[in-house]
Amino acid sequence: MPLMTGEQYVESLRKLNLNVYMFGEKIENVVDHPTIRPSLNSVKMTYDLAQMSEYEDLMTTISNLTGEKINRFTNLHQNTDDLIKKVKMLRLCGQKTAACFQRCVGMDAFNAEYSTTFEIDKTYGTSYHQRFKEFIKFVQENDLTVDGAMTDPKGDRGLSPSKQADPDLYLHVVERRDDGVIVRGAKAHQTGITNSHEVLVMPTMAMRPEDKDYAISFSIPTDTKGITIIMGRQSCDTRKMEEGADIDVGNKNFGGHEALVVFDDVFVPNERIFLNGETEYAGMLVERFAGYHRQSYGGCKVGVGDVLIGAAALAAEYNGAAKATHIKDKLIEMTHLNETLYACGIACSAEGHETESGNYIIDLLLANVCKQNVTRFPYEIARLAEDIAGGLMVTMPSEKDFRSKEVGHYVEKYLVGVSSVSTENRMRVLRLIENITLGTAAVGYRTESMHGAGSPQAQRIMIARQGNLPHKKKLAKAIARIK
């Protein structure tokens, strides 16, 4: 099958029978729901861009498994050029959507699973790697979007999975059959699950031998019996449901979403299982996935940052403050921070290396440095954008007031900035900044910058492991002439 167009992707989702709840009610039409549709549009953009000749080199590549042209979001990285183009592709998608476009997690899971299953098979003589290759061929040939599901609810963080008062707080196997397994539990913070054809489940942490039932990885269709999706709330999310909402939404066409995904005694066939009790490899899978995903943030967050910087510059212009020295300096600082994030994403890609399985992995130390910066810099970029925008960003009247016959003329008159720019356009850019820094898009920019791909402390732990202090001490001893 050739690459899907954006419209074909949308129609493919209509064929799914998802079990989705939002605001306490079941959603019968997930594709056209006003709160969910902007996030679907963000994924659709990854298909649309792949159809455009000017982006072909970034958005598509040739599969090492089939020899056919595929969307890069389904690629197994074959060299450092692939890793670099991944980051550039993610920046492009961020620029085009100013939101989370949701396919990164699946792509990062593919590459972590590919190399890890190879090494499990090498140790145990299992057939996980071949199974996974067949699964990836299926994904590539059908140009599917896959949700990567790693994070468990976790319950008491001081207890291991098997020691929890409720065993379901980590997803686990409750029954093993000749033809597969039955699993129960949940995955939290699932980005783009309603816009995905498959869900690829991974363990959330390194496992001990007693956690064998929790060391499970598999993929199944998102509409498999027993899966329930409960949509998460976002700031200002109901604005999208207001009649005639346009200006107030900010980023009207694009967005992201997260959900709690419940697995209530779900059957997984053997051919879709890629880890099943080999606890010593759970940590490897988590570490490699986290590395790939922390690399991703050096692209996607930078692309959204580009839009936010542009919006801040427009706000300064519309406010009549663009020539002020302190405004110029703040825009320079925003650019400096944004490009530093990008530099880390490119650096960890350029320093990547081949795994035993043949696909390429990033430099894990630099990937974790990249994500550690992402937990800080977008907050400062957002703060500076809010500073430049001014307080009107969070105090201005609603769009309905602006359209009102009774008071609209007051809003028009008193919210004007420079005379050459309409009040409406000034309101639009301020709402966009609000959306990216505080509203629904903040989930995919500000807050996700902190917690996505692991907490800041998770990166610091990895930086400590990868920092190689013994080697550095040896270097210092040589310079200091210490025998």
Q: Are strands 227-231 and 20-22 parallel, antiparallel or unpaired?
A: parallel
Distance, CA of 120 to CA of 142 (rounded, Å): 27
Q: pLDDT grade, residue 420 (50/70/90)?
A: very high
Q: Which of 300, 344, 348, 370 is catalytic?
A: 300
* CA pair distance 326, 122, nearest whole angstrom: 59
Is 297 an active-site residue?
Answer: yes
Rounded average pLDDT over 215-232: 98
Specify whether the CB–CB gap between 46 and 92 falls below 8 A: no
As a whole number, mean pLDDT of residues 372-377 equals 97
Residue 340: per-residue pLDDT: 98
Are residues 20 and 194 in contact, defined by beta-carbon separation less than 8 angstroms?
A: yes
CB 71 within 8 A of CB 110: no
Angle, in degrees to the nearest 10, between helices 37-50 and 6-14 = 140
Out of 113, 198, 258, 434, pick the active-site residue.
258
Q: Any residues with CB less than 8 A from the CB of 69 and at least 6 apart, and which?
A: 2, 3, 60, 61, 62, 63
Segment 126-176, tens digit of pLDDT:
999 999 999 999 999 999 999 999 999 999 999 999 999 999 999 999 999
Asked if residue 387 has pLDDT above 70, the reply is yes
Query: Exactly one of 100, 344, 348, 370 is catalytic; which is it?
Result: 100
Catalytic residue among 9, 114, 292, 297: 297
CB 84 within 8 A of CB 346: yes
User: Model confidence at 403, in pLDDT bands (50, 70, 90)?
Assistant: very high
- CATH number where 449 lies: 1.20.140.10
Residue 304: inside a domain, yes or no? yes
Q: Where are the alpha helices (DSSP H) in 98-158?
A: 104-124, 128-142
**Domain-located, residue 326:** yes
Average per-residue pLDDT in the chain? 97
Q: Which one of the listed residues 46, 74, 104, 194 is annotated catalytic?
A: 104
d(CA 156, CA 278): 24
Strand order in the sheet with 216-221: 146-149, 198-201, 216-221, 273-276
Q: Is the pLDDT of residue 443 over 80?
A: no
Task: Please check whether residue 166 lies inside any domain of the structure.
Answer: no
**Band of pLDDT at residue 75, cut at 50, 70 and 90:** very high
Burial of 243 (0-12, 13-18, 19+ CB in 10 A): exposed
Residue 8 lies in a domain: no
Q: Tell me if residue 104 is catalytic.
A: yes
The pLDDT of residue 53 is 97
CB-neighbour burial class of residue 51 (10 A; exposed 0-12, middle 13-18, buried 19+):
middle
Active site residue 238: no
90: in domain: no
Instruction: Determine which of 115-119, 449-453, 479-483 has the lowest per-residue pLDDT on average.
Output: 449-453
Confidence (pTM)? 0.97
Number of domains making up the chain: 1
Convert 55-73 to b/e letters by CB count within 10 Å (16 or more is b). beebbbbebbeeeeebbbb
The string of pLDDT tens digits covering residues 42-68 is: 999 999 999 999 999 999 999 999 999
Active site residue 100: yes
Q: Do the beta carbons of residue 160 and residue 211 sit within 8 Å? A: yes
Percent of the chain with pLDDT over 90: 95
The tens digit of pLDDT for each residue in 191-214 reads: 999 999 999 999 999 999 999 999
**Confidence at 447, pLDDT banded by 50, 70, 90:** confident
Nearest-angstrom CA–CA distance, 109 and 292: 8
Given a cut of 70, is residue 258 above it in pLDDT?
Answer: yes
Q: Which of 46, 61, 151, 191 is catalytic?
A: 191
Domain holding 326, by residue range, is 284-469
- Catalytic residue among 77, 198, 293, 386, which? 293
191, part of any domain? no
Among left, alpha and beta (phi > 0; psi -120 to 50; other), residue 244 is left
3-state secondary structure of 245: coil
Q: What is the mean pLDDT of residues 407-422?
A: 98
Say whether 344 is catalytic. no
